[in-house]
Each structure stands twice: as structure tokens, then as C-alpha cells.
Structure 1
Amino acid sequence: MEFGALIKFYRTQKGMTQTELAKGICSVPHLSKIENNSKEANEETISLLLERLRISIEEMEEKEEQIKILFRELNGNINFYLKDEIDETYQKLKNIEHLIPFSKHFYICELYKYRYLLFKGLFEEAAAQRDLLYKQKKNFSQHENYLFRYYNAIFLILKGQYKNADDILDTLYTETDHETTSGEFLYHRALVKSSLEQTGHAIHFGKMALQIFMNQHNFLRILHTLMMLGINYTQSNIYEEAEGCFQHLIRNAELLKEEKMLPQIYHNMGFLQNKMKNVKEALYYYEKSLALQPNLNQHYLVTLYSIGVIHYSLQSFEKAKECLQEVNSLSKELGNKKYRLLADFYLLHMATPLKALKYLEAKVIPFLEEANEHSDDLTRFYKMLSDHYNENGMVNEAIKNLNKITGGLL
């Protein structure tokens, strides 16, 4: 505890002059040096000054230990994703925050405040806290500097700036001892790699994070990591591993009553089954996902579109039309151009196939190419156009679209 600064704080708060506080204990110049931490005082002098201020030195030392414990608790709650407990611990820290500037933990406190604001999604406040910390970073210890850079990477992840976040995490991973890297760090490393579609790296770091979370019995983070692994196994066509992840997720999310995660789990399982050509199983999981979602958001829109396309592939055109008309209407309401174009294409294709293919080539594919959308969607449409041109003897146009699938190797 920085007793000099603490004495000055409480003396000023109580409206005492240095002369009044120092009388009979020490000289005023000596007190001034103590308050400015330019001269160390013996324990007896400190004790007498605090006694006159009606402050217990033992109580202050207990408060410093309490601050240390609360920091550890806050960090643990964030790592275990315990939302209610995080808020409770943060409030306890707020209740004694007037003491933190006099403790040894001032910068750590400000860093954990930054992490808390990021966890809560309070981006403007987090940005202001980041700027405040940046001005103080020259005073950071090595560990504090590590935390500041790591939390900046999390900030960038939340803002969708994955490449910049990856650069920071890559540097930190290189600088630190890999053996002591936390599960949380490895989870964020995997998350960034997944967002950059580097599925091999995402799986590598995800498996490392999963092992640590399993050793810690960190159940929610196990679910989050399994979700990410399942998605990346799916993208890598490692279907057996992906299915295992999603089956484990379904069992445990249902047991833990993680109702917010279940729609996403069911949707991803549906996507996997569709890639495996198990369209009826895909439809089953998509419908389970849809039943748990509110109907005015982007996730509902994506799931409903997926259901419509499956009904189309099964030639259940009335059901497909019903779904895709709702997709069209909802996409306009949500301002989602992609799914409006896709719904328009399939609805047009059920009515006038030739016009639909022209619409696909003129509107849908250029939009998806410019938006750098998932290759699965584009591959399906390139193949559709190639088949159409091939059937009509337009070989050059057919090859042109096939080349887009193969990368020009034909």
C-alpha cells in the first residue's frame, strides 16, 4: 500500500492541514516528503499519522489483499464466462475503487476494467479506457504490457479486424513461453484463425484450448471451443470429427440449459448434414434451430433460407416458395441484400428457369464475388450455370464457369 499518497488523500478529505496532522508526530517538511513518497518513514510514524486520521494500518493491508483477491476472482469469472459473477465481482471492486490508486495494483485494475468493458460489449467506453492506458504504458510491468496488448487484440476481434488481431496474438505467442499460454489466449488465437478461414490453424489452437478447458472443467468455454472446432472441421470436410463435436454440444448444451447456444448448434449441425448430402437430417436440425429463434434477426433469416433451399432441392416447391417468400420479405425489412437476391433467384427459378439463370449471372454471382462470400455458395451457382451452358452447346461459357471452380486449371 502506498501510505504516503493514502495519508494525503484522507488528510485532504478530512480538511486537515499538514500542520494539524503533523503536530506532535513529525515536522511539516517531513510529512510533506512522506505524502509525496520522496522520503520513507518508519512504521511508527506512519502508524501515528494513520491513527490521527482514524485509519487502521491493519485494515488498509487487509483491503490491499482484498483488492488482489478480487482481481483474481474477476479474471477467473471472465475466463469461465460466468456473467452474473463477473458483475458481482466488478461491483465489489467499484465499492473500494477509491483505495486502488494507493495500492500496488493500480495499473492491473485499469487493465481489468478494460477487459470488463470489452466483455460487456461497451465499445465506446472500452476505447476510452484503451486510450487512457496507452498514455500510461511506459509505466507498465512486463506482465501488464502483455495484458494490454492481449486485450487490444480482443478489442480488434470484437470490431471484426481479424488480421490486425492475428498479428498481435502471433507476436505475443512467439514472445511468451507456449507451455504457459492460457486456454483463453489459445481460444482467441483459434477464433481469429477461424475468422480468417485458416481452418488448419484454427483446429490446432482450438484443440490446445479445449484440452486446457477440459482440465479446468471450464464447461462453457468447452462448449464455445467445440462449436468453433465443429465449424472448422466442417469447412475442412472432416465430417466425422465435426459430427462428434456437434453431438457432444447438443447433449451438453441441453443439460446445461444453454438455450442461447442451441439454435446455433442445431443450425451448424444442419449445415454439416447438408454438406454430407443428408438433406432430411439437415432439414430436421434446421427446423429445430428455427423453432428456438425470434423471427426478426439475421440468424433466423439464414436458417429459414437454408430450409427453403432444401425444400427446393427435394422438389417440395410449395414449401420452398413459402419459406423463400418470407426470406424475401424479411431480408427487405432487415436490409439484407444478399438474401433478398438469393430468395429472388430461387423464386424466379421455380417460375421461369431461364430468366432465373440470367438473373443469377447478372445480379447474384457478381454480388457474391464482390462481397467475397463463402465459396460453397459460389461453387454451387458456377456449377449450375456451367451445366446450363453445356446442355445448350455453349462450351466456352460452360468452361468459363468451371474454371472459376477449379481456379483456372481446366
Structure 2
Amino acid sequence: LKKTNAINVSYRGDIDYALALCYYNLNEYEKALNSTIFAYRYYQNEDNFQQVGHCLAILADSYKNLNLNEEAEATYKKLIRTSEMLGNHKLLNKGIYEYGLLQTNKVILEETLTLFDLPLEQNSGDVSTQLESILSKIDLMMKSNIHKDKIQKYVKYIKNLSLQIEDKTYYFLSLYYEYKIEKPSQVNDFLEKKLIPFLEKSDCSSKLIVYYKELADYYESIDLKKSLYYLKKCMHKNEYTNLAHII
């Protein structure tokens, strides 16, 4: 790029996008923003909306990590609209979730929670999309301290549906939130003895990092050896749970 006038080179956008991902993974968010903006403009001119969506994900996450919350919110809104248009329900679901985490105004938060119905309405036959959307909604409600009575109906719905379709993964995940609401003192024991061993035996490695981190934080003040054990598991998995990698 430095040695040639690469403005009109056909693969320029792909190079900028690759650089953006590299900078993002190195936590160099300002450089990631710069490269992503170039790639974003290129893909816009090419009408490559799938890649436009991916660029928006990196931009939004980078703004968030730089504490530029207004820019992050505006970009998440664009991401939600774009992923809805593309029918990319996985990206849509995560975009809504991350956008919701930025909301401190309770009125806006309530409006954001209703956005989770979008992937449900558009993909009513896809049970996994339905379950993932509801799980994200539950998680956002928990982190936003929504009253537990409002959350319990969603937990019960997932639990019943997972039993109907005989899906143990979503059944165990519903139990996790049930413990969080009804038996918070026992949730870490459930994680260690039930949920994590089950997920480790199943093909659900992308979900494990969150629970490893939760146990690592729990043990940090009471058992440093165990805390380090779960932190090492996080590092070993090397799974990406941020929005930029839902591509």
C-alpha cells in the first residue's frame, strides 16, 4: 500500500479489513478504526453489504472500547438496521445486545429490549435463533437489574421449550439463569459441577469462556489457585466473544 497508489486496487478494501481485524485483536482500537473506515467506504462503493455489516461491528466495538459511547450507539443502530436488512440474525441479535448494554436510560432500555423480537418475528421457524435471542434478552435484563419477576417468564419459556425439543444445552443454560434468580448462593457450584462439565463435553466451546471468567472472578478473593486455573482455561480456549467476530 505504501509503495503503490493503491486507491483503485480491487483488493484494497480486503487489505484494510484484514488490517482492521489485526489491530482490533491487538487492542489497538484507534488504528482499528482508521483501517475499518477505509474498508467500510470501499465496501459501500462496491455495494458489498455483508462486509459493510462486518465493518460496522468492528467500528461499534472499537468505539465502545475507547469509551466513545455516543459514536458506539449510533454505529450499533446502523449495524442493527444493516443486519436486519441482510437477514443476518446472529449479527442482529448480538448488535441489539451490545446496544442494550450501553443504555442507562430505563425508557430507552425498555425500547431496546423489544428489539429482540425482530429476529423472532423474521425467523419464527428457527428454534435456535429464537432461543439465542431470548437468552440474550435475559442476560441484558439481568445486567440491567430488571425485576426478576419479568425475567422469570422468559427463563421458564426456554426451559419448557428446550425440554420439548430435547435440547440439553439450552435446558442447562435456562437452569443457570434460574439459579441466578432463585438460588444465587448456589450458582457457582452449579457452574463448576454441572454446566461447565456438560459444555466441555458438548460442542459448545464458544459459550464456555463467559463461565470460566465468572468462576475466575468468584475465586479471585477466596482461592487464587482456582481463579488462575479458570483464567488459564479462558486463555486456552482463545474464543472470541466480542461482536466483531460474529461474521
Same-fold status (TM-score > 0.5): yes
Aligned residues of 2:13 and 2:38 also touching (Cα < 8 A): no
Instruction: Indicate yes or no: 2:159 matched with 1:300.
Output: no
| SS of aligned partner of 1:304 | helix
Q: How does 1:105-124 map to 2 (within 5 A)?
A: none
1:263 Cα deviation (Å)?
Answer: 8.1
Instruction: Indicate yes or no: 2:114 matched with 1:287.
Output: yes
Instruction: Indicate yes or no: 2:196 matched with 1:365.
Output: yes
CA pair 348-406 structure 1, distance change in 2 beyond 3 A:
closer
Q: Give the Cα separation in 1 of the matches to 2:155 and 2:147.
A: 12
Tell me the alpha carbon deviations over residues 343-386 of structure 1, each in whole angstroms, 9 at most, x when there is no partner: 11221343334443321111223455672546445323433x33
Q: Give the Cα separation in 1 of the matches to 2:37 and 2:25.
A: 16
Instruction: Indicate yes or no: 2:87 matched with 1:260.
Output: yes
Q: How does 1:96-111 map to 2 (within 5 A)?
A: none
Q: Give the Cα separation in 1 of the matches to 2:96 and 2:86.
A: 16
Which has more radius of gyration? 1
Task: Find 2:214's aligned residue among 372, 377, 380.
Answer: 380
Task: Find 1:317's aligned residue among 148, 155, 161.
Answer: 148
CA pair 352-239 structure 1, distance change in 2 beyond 3 A:
same
Q: Give the Cα separation in 1 of the matches to 2:35 and 2:198.
A: 33
Q: Which residue of 2 aligns with 1:182?
A: 11
What is the Cα-based RMSD across aligned positions, in Å?
A: 4.4
Q: Which residue of 1 aligns with 2:243?
A: none
Instruction: Indicate yes or no: 2:61 matched with 1:227.
Output: no
Task: Find 2:104's aligned residue among 278, 302, 310.
Answer: 278
Aligned positions, number = 217
Q: Give the Cα separation in 1 of the matches to 2:179 and 2:77.
A: 37
Q: Give the Cα separation in 2 of the matches to 1:310 and 1:227.
A: 21
Q: Give the Cα separation in 2 of the matches to 1:353 and 1:230.
A: 36
Question: Matched residues, percent identical?
Answer: 13
The code of the aligned residue for 1:379 comes to: K
Aligned residues of 1:187 and 1:209 also touching (Cα < 8 A): yes
Q: Give the Cα separation in 2 of the matches to 1:282 and 1:400.
A: 39
Q: Which residue of 2 aligns with 1:3?
A: none
Q: How does 1:6-405 map to 2 (within 5 A)?
A: 179=6, 180-182=9-11, 185-186=14-15, 189=18, 193=21, 205-214=35-44, 216=45, 218=47, 220=49, 223-230=52-59, 232-233=61-62, 237-240=65-68, 241-250=71-80, 253=82, 258=85, 260-261=87-88, 264-265=91-92, 267-274=94-101, 276=102, 278=104, 280=106, 281-282=108-109, 284-293=111-120, 294-295=123-124, 296-313=126-143, 314=145, 316-331=147-162, 337-367=168-198, 371=205, 373=207, 375-383=209-217, 385-386=218-219, 395-396=222-223, 399-403=224-228
1:304 Cα deviation (Å)?
Answer: 0.5
Aligned residues of 2:39 and 2:55 also touching (Cα < 8 A): no
Higher relative contact order (CA 8 A, sep 6+): 2
Q: Give the Cα separation in 2 of the matches to 1:333 and 1:187.
A: 46
For structure 1, which runs of at least 5 residues remain unmatched after alignment?
1-172
Q: Give the Cα separation in 2 of the matches to 1:311 and 1:225.
A: 26
Q: Which residue of 2 aligns with 1:138?
A: none
The code of the aligned residue for 1:382 comes to: A
1:243 Cα deviation (Å)?
Answer: 2.5
Aligned residues of 1:229 and 1:242 also touching (Cα < 8 A): no
The code of the aligned residue for 2:39 comes to: A
CA pair 212-260 structure 1, distance change in 2 beyond 3 A:
same
Aligned residues of 2:155 and 2:178 also touching (Cα < 8 A): yes
TM-score (norm 2): 0.62
Q: Give the Cα separation in 1 of the matches to 2:130 and 2:185.
A: 30
| SS of aligned partner of 2:65 | coil
Indicate the larger mover: 353-362 or 331-340: 331-340
CA pair 263-239 structure 1, distance change in 2 beyond 3 A:
farther
